[in-house]
Amino acid sequence: VQLQASGGGLVQVGGSLRLSCAASGRTFSSYVMAWFRQAPGKEREFVAYITSSATIKYYADSVKGRCTISRDNGKNTIYLQMNSLKPEDTAVYYCAASPIASTRTYRYSDWGQGTLVTVSS
């Protein structure tokens, strides 16, 4: 599946952003979809995943309560609503697809190109 992330930008501390990831190709609705992020000089880290039917959503502790992952299988799109943003949320955010639910990057075979989120203080 091909993925295209968008929606990043510059936001002040405490602000909000909604990221989108549009998918095309194989059967999007059968995949677990996730968001990861990578800050400068750091490893890529898990943010959230959502199962194919959206029955399970799982979040990293660092974003729990501030972010909401969702999907619209009719539009082949997933979203990440981010609220109460902090400077440490600054990173390139990537969407990814996997046949199984996981927080590990190696489980995800398809990746979007990333969208930059910068939180300024």
- pLDDT tens digit at each of 121 positions of the chain: 899 999 999 999 999 999 999 999 768 889 999 999 999 999 999 999 999 999 999 999 999 999 999 999 999 999 999 999 999 999 999 999 999 999 999 999 999 999 999 999 8
**Residue position matching structure tokens 């609503």:** 81
Res 27: pLDDT: 83
Report pLDDT for 44. 98
Q: Cβ of 43: how many Cβ atoms within 10 Å?
A: 8
- Which residues are registered as beta bridge partners of 1? none
E strands, the chain, are: 2-6, 9-12, 17-24, 32-38, 45-50, 57-59, 67-72, 77-82, 91-98, 110-111, 115-120
Model pLDDT, residue 60: 98
Phi, psi of 48 (to 5 degrees): -165, 155
Predicted local confidence at residue 25, as pLDDT: 74
